[in-house]
Amino acid sequence: QWVGGARVLELELDRPEWLDLRFEECDLSGVLARDFAMRRVQFRATRLRGVAFTNGQYDDGLLLDCKTDELSMRFSRLRNVTFRGCDLSNADFYSATFEHVTMESCSLRGARFHSADVKCLRIKDCDMLGIAGALDLKGAVIDFSDLPSLAPSLAGEAGIELVD
């Protein structure tokens, strides 16, 4: 199913199951999906504001050129999911499990990864300045060129004081 240009506002879902959906140029705001299951769901050029997919499972997904504000995927398992060209600033991945997940050309500024379970996570060409839970990304594969934006968070969490 393809959904284009739709606005979904203030929706609370308990145990939703989404299968084979594609959202393109949509605006999702104030959507809460608890205990969700998503499989083969794509978000393209879609805005996700105040959206929380919590305590669920997202398989075989794609977020392409999306903008988020207060996106939460707390306590969720992401498997075979790609984030490409997305603004994931301040996203919350607390206690999320990453299995074959790729984050490419994204802004991860201020994103939270506390208690993440990294099975297979690839981060490439991303801005990671100010992320929280940097040490919980143990096991992730990160491009060397991304290290400068990650270094302050790693140093801070390791108890190292940085000075100019």
The two structure tokens encoding residue 68: 């988020």
The model carries a pTM of 0.95
Query: For residue range 56-68, what is the model confidence (pLDDT) as tens digits?
Result: 999 999 999 999 9
The two structure tokens encoding residue 43: 């978000």
Taking CA atoms, 5 is separated from 8, 27, 28, 64, 147, in Å, by: 10, 7, 10, 15, 37
Query: For residue range 76-99, what is the model confidence (pLDDT) as tens digits?
Result: 999 999 999 999 999 999 999 999
DSSP string, 139-151: T-EE-GGGHHHHH
Q: What share of the chain is helix, strand, coil (3-state, %, to 5)?
A: 10, 50, 40
**Separation of alpha carbons 82 and 54, rounded Å:** 18
Q: What's 134's DSSP letter?
A: G
